[in-house]
Structure 1
Amino acid sequence: MNKQDFKFFIGIDLSKRFFDVAIIDNDRTTSYVFENTRKGANAFIRLLKNQKIPLSNTLICMEHTGVYGKILITKLVEKQASFCVEMPIQITKSIGVVRGKSDRVDAKRIAIYASKNHKELELYRPMPEILEKVKILLKIRRKLVNTRADVNKYPNELELFSPELGKLAKRNLKKINKNLNDEINRIEAEIKKLVLSDDKLNKTVGLVTSVTGIGQITALHFTIFTNFFTRYDNPKQLACYSGVVPFEYTSGESIHRKSRVHPMANRTLKKHLHMSALAAINHDPDIRTYFLRKVEEGKNKMLIVNNVRNKLVHRICAVVKRQKPYVKTIS
């Protein structure tokens, strides 16, 4: 972010139907409410113009609320406004102990958060349309895969204790399973078509999947969550975001707990990295040798798997930075 001195700080609390706005001008704070529609977004921009609040020296901050922020974010990008979209827990933790809650108060707290931390905040960078499309399809695919798993969970358990009843359940779910499999295959074909239609995305996915153990779906998730690997300066930051970096937990002489990964991480990336690590252990000679050596040394297997996940993140970042596919070492 440019370390410019913003004169105005605006906090926005978004909900499905409305968004509350708090504007800090020196020590004065004013509050407004708009409909969360295109009409409301236009009214917000008009208000700033009428109040003589130029977007050029105004920082707008809002919480990440998924689809609820789409309309307003699109308008702010169109107007080339300086704004940031922060995770709610980041704002909540920075505020400290609070009493009471309302949308109006939350908007004011977000504005105060922006005014205090503006030099460290990262300005919003819009995601390319191709990534937005792939992101939607991946989300649909994930829901279909989860539905398929839920549908098959009961008959699989039933078959363990009553084979005949289990077969009956599976027979009646056969058509549903076929439809789910067909839809998943169709979505994956649509994703593949989108990847091939964009040179940059196709090249990035090709580089990432050159790392043994990383499949196309995992590569796409990394590309989307990092916005073409532009959100993180080094592999350690990305590894931390992916939930594979253990943190020390000690205090004085009385508290000495094992180092653990923090629960506040991207769980989707962590899950995909876990499956990739298991694949790498089976198919990458170097990683398999490393895994077996550590097992012989008596290391905890989950700790070793986590180390492999960390290695994969570093390899992914290396191939993207060098723009060259990963090459296995021949021993």
Structure 2
Amino acid sequence: MSKFKHFVGIDVSKEYFDAVVILDGTKEKSIHSQFANDYKGIKSLCKWLKEEGSTYENTLVCLEHTGMYGKLIINYLTSFKFDIWVEMSLKIIRSIGLQRGKNDKIDAERIAYYAMKNQEEAQIYEPPRKVIEQLKKLISLREHLVTTRAMLLRNSKELKGFEPELSKIYAKFCKSTVKGLEADLKNIEKELDNIIKSDENLSNVYEKSTSVTGVGKVTTLYLICYTNEFKMYETPRQLACYCGVVPFEYTSGKSIKGRSRVHYMANKKLKKQLHMCAISSIRAKGDFKDYYDRKVAEGKNKMLVINNVRNKLIHRICACIRNNKNYELRLAS
């Protein structure tokens, strides 16, 4: 039996948020209010909930994943021990079915109803440690700088083939910018290394992950940040599904027999990083190269085999972390 008696749905926007409380698990007994999306507004929310008999002990708070707009609410309510469920908006929309009309109040009510209906499946939010938040910010900044540098270098290279004179002018004015970006990237790499070394648990997870052939620093940090140090998923298959590397069957009766394929709803960044790891592990001498060559020789599609390697990499990483051991390559006797 669920411990929750009241259910709060919060629809977040930049300047304010709407909150709807379903009291005593009865949809007809719902109340609504709107608050400013700042500390003062969140304090008013807590006061309002308390007046209605809704406390951290008997209330489930649910809101959509809205990035930075919902962060203040999540951090504040978590500090007061509220159980918070941060859910994908698409999951909420699809679970409710066909709906007509939309505004902030209705959206908050639908979120509250979703929480009440699916309370047994609620995934209570566990806030990441401060060091993980630091890693996230640095990795995000690194990604922006890498993209900017690549764009500048690519444009210069393209111009060289068509307008050499203009290419020289372009390269001249971009030279100092590119150098500055490369210097900043080096500093970020050093800071990332310092953060990893300064935290024992982080250093341990990092060591176990990078011991797997083909898995590098950036991929490991992405996995650590997106999975909250591998706490968000109970099994390697769940993580593999999140990364979009698990194929699912598409058949129905006798008429529909589609090929198995991965789902489009996946973390594209992790999928891209794992793809690069798979290519690296296939190029290196070892069991993955042997596996790839054998399957391709059997007539298997190359991308299918690469996806299988991505899946295997996740299982190996999770096994190393679960057993607290570095990966050991077993050579054929």
Structure 2 length-normalised TM: 0.96
- Residue 5 of structure 1, CA deviation: 3.6
Residue aligning to 2:133 = 132
- Residue 128 of structure 1, CA deviation: 0.7
Structure 1 contact 34–40 (Cα < 8 Å) conserved: yes
Structure 1 contact 19–33 (Cα < 8 Å) conserved: yes
Residue aligning to 1:122 = 123
Structure 1 contact 212–284 (Cα < 8 Å) conserved: no
Structure 1 length-normalised TM: 0.96
Aligned residue identity for 1:306: N
Give the distance between the partners of 1:32 and 1:48, measured in 2 at CA: 10
Residue aligning to 1:90 = 91
Q: Is the partner of 1:233 in helix, strand or coil?
A: coil
Residue aligning to 2:16 = 18
Identity of aligned residues (%): 45
- Residue 164 of structure 1, CA deviation: 4.8
1:319 partnered with 2:302:
no
Residue aligning to 1:171 = 172
Residue aligning to 1:209 = 210
Residue aligning to 2:194 = 193
- Residue 248 of structure 1, CA deviation: 1.2
Q: In structure 2, do the counterparts of structure 1 residues 305 and 44 end up closer, same or farther at CA, with 3 Å as the change threshold?
A: same
Q: Mapping of 1:275-290 within 5 angstroms?
A: 275-290=276-291
- Residue 282 of structure 1, CA deviation: 1.2
Residue aligning to 2:66 = 65
- Residue 224 of structure 1, CA deviation: 1.4
1:258 partnered with 2:256:
no
String of CA shifts for 1:209-260, please: whole Å, max 9, x gaps: 0001111111111111111111111111111111001111122222222211
Aligned residue identity for 1:232: Y
Q: Is the partner of 2:121 in helix, strand or coil?
A: coil
- Residue in structure 2 matching 1:9, options 7, 10, 33: 7
1:244 partnered with 2:242:
no
Q: Is the partner of 2:57 in helix, strand or coil?
A: helix
Aligned residue identity for 1:194: I
Q: In structure 2, do the counterparts of structure 1 residues 281 and 38 end up closer, same or farther at CA, with 3 Å as the change threshold?
A: same
Give the distance between the partners of 2:176 and 2:22, measured in 1 at CA: 59
- Residue 168 of structure 1, CA deviation: 4.1
Q: Is the partner of 2:316 in helix, strand or coil?
A: helix
- Residue 191 of structure 1, CA deviation: 1.2
Q: Mapping of 1:34-73 within 5 angstroms?
A: 34-73=35-74
Q: Which moved more, 1:242-251 or 1:162-171?
A: 162-171
Aligned residue identity for 2:288: I
Give the distance between the partners of 1:172 and 1:152, measured in 2 at CA: 12
Residue aligning to 1:104 = 105
Q: Which blocks of at least 5 consecutive residues in structure 2 are unaligned? A: none
- Residue 90 of structure 1, CA deviation: 1.2
Give the distance between the partners of 1:328 and 1:156, measured in 2 at CA: 41
Give the distance between the partners of 1:299 and 1:157, measured in 2 at CA: 36
Structure 1 contact 9–111 (Cα < 8 Å) conserved: yes
String of CA shifts for 1:148-190, please: whole Å, max 9, x gaps: 1222222222223444543443333221111111111111111
Aligned residue identity for 1:125: E
Aligned-residue RMSD, C-alpha: 1.3
- Residue 87 of structure 1, CA deviation: 1.2
Q: Is the partner of 1:119 in helix, strand or coil?
A: helix
Q: Which blocks of at least 5 consecutive residues in structure 1 are unaligned? A: none
- Residue 283 of structure 1, CA deviation: 1.6
String of CA shifts for 1:78-122, please: whole Å, max 9, x gaps: 110111111111111111111111111100000000000000111
- Residue 7 of structure 1, CA deviation: 1.1
